[in-house]
Amino acid sequence: MFKILQKFFFIIFFSFYLGISNTAAEIVKNIKVIGNERVSSETIKIFSSVSINDDIDILETNTILKNIYESNFFESVSIEIKENTLFIKVIEKPVIVNINYNGVKSKELRNEISKDRILKPRSSYDEISLQNDIEKMKNKLQELGYYFAIIDPIIENLENKKLNLDYNITLGEKSKIKKISFIGNKIFKDKKLKNIIVSEEYKFWKFISGKKYLNENIISLDERLLRNFYLNKGYKNVTINSSFAKIINDNEFELIFNIDARNKIFFNNIDFTLPVDFLREDFRDVFDFFSDLKNEPYSLNKINEIVEKIEIIALSEKFETVKVNIDEEILDNKLNLEFSIVESEKFFVDRINIFGNNITQESVIRNKLLIDEGDLFNDILYSKSINNIKSLNFFKSIDGEVIDGNEKGTKTINIQLVEKATGEIALGAGAGTAGATVGFSVKENNFLGKGIGLDSSITLTEETIRGKFSVDNPNFRNSDKSIQFNVQAMEMDRTETFGYKSNKVGMSVGTGFEYYKNLDFGLGFDNFYEKISTDGSASALQKTQDGNYWDTFLNVNLKYDTRNFTYDPTDGFISYYSINLPVLSDTNTLTNTYDYKFYTELFENNVTTASILLKTANSISGDNIKLSERLYIPSRRLRGFESGKIGPKDGSDYIGGNYMTAANISTTLPKLFSDNEYIDFVLFFDAANIWGVDYSSSINDGNGLRSSVGLGVDWYTPIGPLNFSFAHPITKEDNDIEETFRFNIGTTF
C-alpha cells in the first residue's frame, strides 16, 4: 500500500513540474506595450528589465510586474506571453500639473510643509501618496505649533489624465503654552528650571517672542538642556521620563516635564590605562586633575575636560590613530572611572561629503573640521569636528557617518545637516527704583550663510538713548580670530542730577581670539566725537568743560574664565582686565579696569560669590578728564545707597570720581521657604569707595568707605523676574544718600 502511495505522489509531482516547465518554456522574441500614452514603450521596457531572447517563467512574470509598478507611473499592469511575444498592458496614473497650498500666507511656512513631499508637480498621482503627504504636513504643522490645523485636498481633473492638486489649509491659531510644570523627583525649584529651558509661558503682552508657542523641536531642545543641567549638577542617572502637553482649553496647553533626578553621584577612583609606548609622565597633568576631582559631584563638563586633556596630549605625541574609551562602575553613590587610549586601525580619509547646507556656505562648515581629505582617520578629531559644527548653532540637527571609502584602506565621512532659522528679534522692558528701561534688538547670526553676525539694538532709559549696529566675523579669513566692527550713537542727559548733557557718536573696530585655554585676548580701536553741554545749575568749573571733543583710544583686554557655566555659574571664577590708552584725545584719559568674581557651593544647592572691582580714570597729560569719563559705582555693587548719589559733590551735583573700588560677598539661602517654587533668598554684604576730583583741589574728594548688609529676594512672577532688596548701611559719608529698599522687575515681549 505504501509503495502505491509513493508512486501516486511521484506521478502528481512529476506532472506539476512538467506543467511549470512547459509554461516557462517561452523565449521572448518580441515585446509589445499596450495602453501607454505619456510614458514611452522603450521606457516601460527598461522598467521591465526584460530583453529579447530571455527565458520567461511564471516566477519571472511576477518580478516584471513588481519592477513596472515600482516606477509609480501606473494604476494597473498586466502581462501575457503569447507566441513568444510579451504583451505588457498598462493604465497610466494621472499626472500632477500644479500643487497649491491655499490658506498659508507665509512663504517660509509654505516651504516647510512642502519639503520632502512624495507628490510634486509633474509626478504621478495616487491616493496612498496623498494620504502620506497629508500626514507629514500635519506632523510638520504640529512641530511648528499648529496643533489643530485642517488639511482638505481638492482634485481638479484636467484633460489627458492630468490634474491640479489644491491643499486647502486652515491653520487656526498657534497652540500656546499656558503653563509650564515640573513634576517628579526634580530636586530644584521650578524658578531655576524655567531659566534653563527655552520654552516660556504665554502672556498677552508677549507679542514678539515665538517661544510661547508649543513647538516639538523646542521641547526636544528643552529636554536636552534639562538633562545637561542635571548631569553637570551630579545627577548622572537623571531621566526626563516624559515631556507632554495637556490641553487646558481650546488652544492652550500645559507643558509638563516629568523628571527623576535619582541619587547624586560623586567621583571616586579615576584611573588611566596607557598603551605600552606611551609614557605615564606625559600625562601628569591628567593624573593631578583626577586627584582634584575625587569626592567632587559628577559633572559632564568635567568628563569632557578629562577627555580633552587626554586627547591633546595623545595627539601632540603624534599618535594619529587613537581614541579614548571610558569604562565606569557605580558603587552606591560613588563613580569609578577607567580611561584608556586605544590605537585604532589605520584608514585614510577618502572624501568628506556635506549635505543639507542650503544656506550656510560649505567653507564655513569645513573651517570647523579638524580632519581633512587625505589625512589618516582619527576618531578623536572626527568627534571634535562634529562638536565644532554643533557649536556654530546654525543647524537643527547634525548627523555624522563614517563608511568604507572607494578604495581599500579608506573611509568616507558623510555629514548630514538640517538648517534652522538664525535670526532673532527681542523686545524687553524693566522698571524699578532706579528708573525704567526699554530695549529692542534685531540679530542675524549667519548673514548670507557666511557665519557673520549682525546685531542692531536700541536702549532707552530715563537718562540715556543708545543705538548700536555691529558686525562680527568670528573666523576672519580662516585665522581663528574674530573681527568686530560697530557704529553707535548715544545721548546721555544728566542735567537734573549731574548738571551736564553728552551727545556721542563714533565707531569701533577690534579683534579677539583665545590666546590660551580659558584665556581670551582682545584688541581694538575706539573713535568717538562727543559734544558736552552744561546747564545753569552746573558749577563754574563744570562749565569749563562745555565743548566738542574727538577721542581715539587703543583698547586692550584680557579675560580668564574658568566658570562651569557662563549663565548662572556655581563654580570657578572670571577675571577681566581692560585698559583704554589715549592715541588722539583732547583730555588723554587713561582708564584701567579690573573685575574679578569667584563662585562656589558651600552646601547643597547653595551658591556663594565674592567679587572685587577696581577702576581708575586719569589724564596722562595732566588735563582734567571729561565729565562723561568720570567714574560712578554701579548700583548693583552698592545696595543701601541711591545710585550715583555718593562721593565727591560740586555744589548740588554728584560728580563722580577718578578712582573707585567695590567688594561684594553674597550667599543664597536655599533652606529659607524651600517649598516655594518661585522665590529665592540671598544674604549680601557690599562695600565700595569712590574718590578723586582732578579739576579742583577745593572740593572734598569724597574718600571714605561705604558698606551695607542686607537681604535680597528673587521672585519669578507671572509678569517676569522681580528682585528687591532690603539693605542697612553700616558705614557712610555725610553727603551720601541712603536707599534701604530697592526693586526691579523686567519682562520680554
User: What angle separates helix 127-143 from helix 216-231, to the nearest 10 degrees?
Assistant: 50
Using a pLDDT cut of 90, give the percent of the chain over it.
38
Rg value, the chain, Cα: 36
CB burial class (10 A; 0-12, 13-18, 19+) of residue 718? exposed
Which pLDDT score is estimated for 31? Answer: 87
Query: How many other CB atoms are found less than 10 A from the CB of residue 303?
Result: 20
User: Distances in Å between the alpha carbon of 640 and those of 109, 322, 704, 739?
Assistant: 52, 59, 15, 5
| All cell numbers assigned to 454 | 549682525
Ranked by mean pLDDT, the top range of 56-65, 227-236, 325-334 is 227-236
Contacts of 441 (CB under 8 A, 6+ apart): 424, 425, 426, 455, 456, 457, 458
pLDDT band of residue 13 (cuts 50, 70, 90) is very low
Identify which of 22, 16, 18, 23 has the alpha carbon closest to the alpha carbon of residue 61.
23
* The C-alpha cell that represents 418 in the structure block: 538640517
Q: What is the mean pLDDT of the chain?
A: 86
| Residues constituting the chain | 749
Q: Does domain 176-260 have CATH number 3.10.20.310?
A: yes
pLDDT at 314: 64
Kindly give, in sequence order, each residue whose CB lies less than 8 Å from that of residue 333, ignoring residues fewer than 6 positions away: 263, 264, 265, 266
The architecture (CATH level 2) of 95-170 comes to Roll (3.10)
Beta strand spans in 562-607 (E): 572-585, 589-600
Question: Using one digit for the tens of pLDDT, what is the confidence trace for 378-431?
Answer: 887 888 889 889 888 899 889 999 998 888 889 899 999 988 888 888 888 888
Q: Which of 472, 446, 456 is nearest to 392 (CA)?
A: 446
pLDDT of 310 above 80: no
- Per-residue model confidence as pLDDT tens digits over 37-64: 878 888 888 888 888 888 887 777 888 8
Taking the C-alpha atoms of 15, 18, 19 and 22 in order, what is their torsion angle to the nearest 10 degrees? -160
> Is the C-alpha dihedral spanning 124, 126, 132, 133 positive or negative?
positive
Output the CA torsion sign for 444, 450, 451, 455: negative
Residue 517 three-state SS: coil
CATH superfamily of 348-419: membrane protein fhac (3.10.20.310)
Percent of the chain with pLDDT over 70: 95
Residue 236: DSSP 8-state: T
Q: Which residues contact 284 (CB under 8 A, 6 or more apart)?
A: none
Q: What contacts 50, CB < 8 A, 6 or more positions away?
A: 28, 31, 56, 64, 86
How is the chain split among helix, strand and coil, in percent rounded to 5?
20, 45, 35
Which residue has cell 515585446? Answer: 31
CB 534 within 8 A of CB 499: yes
Instruction: Check pLDDT > 70 for residue 318.
Output: no
CA-to-CA distance for 317 and 277, rounded, in angstroms? 11
Grid-cell match 560740586, residue found? 650
What is the band of 15 on the pLDDT scale with cuts at 50, 70, 90? very low
Q: pLDDT category, 320, cuts 50, 70, 90?
A: low
Give the per-residue pLDDT at 18: 38
Note the pLDDT of residue 106.
85
Give 536's DSSP letter.
T
pLDDT at 69: 81
The Cα–Cα gap between 649 and 574 comes to 34
Residue 317: band (very low, low, confident or very high) from pLDDT cuts 50, 70, 90: low
Instruction: Give the pLDDT confidence of 519-573 residue by residue, as tens digits.
Output: 999 999 999 999 988 887 777 777 888 889 999 999 999 999 999 888 788 889 9
Does pLDDT of 512 surpass 90? yes
CATH of region 16-92, choose from 2.40.160.40, 3.30.420.40, 3.10.20.310, 3.40.190.10: 3.10.20.310
Contact assessment for residue 92 and residue 161, using Cβ atoms and an 8 Å cutoff: yes
Is the Cβ–Cβ distance between 654 and 648 less than 8 Å?
yes
More confident residue, 83 or 601: 601
Give CA–CA dist 324/337, Å, rounded: 13
User: Lowest-confidence range among 114-123, 150-159, 264-273, 313-322?
Assistant: 313-322
Question: Where in the sequence of the chain do the CATH 3.10.20.310 domains occur?
Answer: 16-92, 95-170, 176-260, 266-343, 348-419
Sign (positive/negative) of CA torsion 312, 314, 315, 317? Answer: positive
Is 70 exceeded by the pLDDT of residue 6? no
Helices (H), 450-547: 540-543
Cβ atoms 591, 616 nearer than 8 A: yes
Q: State whether CATH 3.10.20.310 applies to domain 266-343.
A: yes
558 touches 519 (CB < 8 A): yes
Which of helix, strand or coil describes residue 615? strand
| Strand order, beta sheet including 348-355 | 348-355, 410-419, 395-404
- In the chain, the amino acid numbered 744 is N
Question: In this structure, what are the phi and psi dihedrals at residue 18, rounded to the nearest 5 degrees?
Answer: -65, -35
Other C-beta atoms lying within 10 Å of the C-beta of residue 269: 13
Question: SS3 string of 66-128?
Answer: HHHHCCCCEEEEEEEEECCEEEEEEEECCEEEEEEEECCCCHHHHHHHHCCCCCCCCCECCHH
The reported pLDDT for the residue numbered 666 is: 96
Tell me if 279 sits within 8 A of 286, measured CB to CB.
Answer: no
> Is the pLDDT assigned to residue 353 strictly greater than 90?
yes
For the chain, how long is the longest CA-to-CA vector? 137
What's the confidence (pLDDT) of residue 354?
A: 93
pLDDT at 191 over 60: yes
**Is the sign of the CA dihedral 733, 734, 735, 738 positive or negative?**
positive
Which residue is associated with the grid cell 583686554? 557
More confident: 469 or 68: 469
pLDDT digits (tens, 9 = 90+) for 193-221: 998 998 998 888 877 778 888 888 888 88
Give mean pLDDT, residues 289-303.
87
pLDDT of 12 above 50: no
Rounded average pLDDT over 245-268: 88
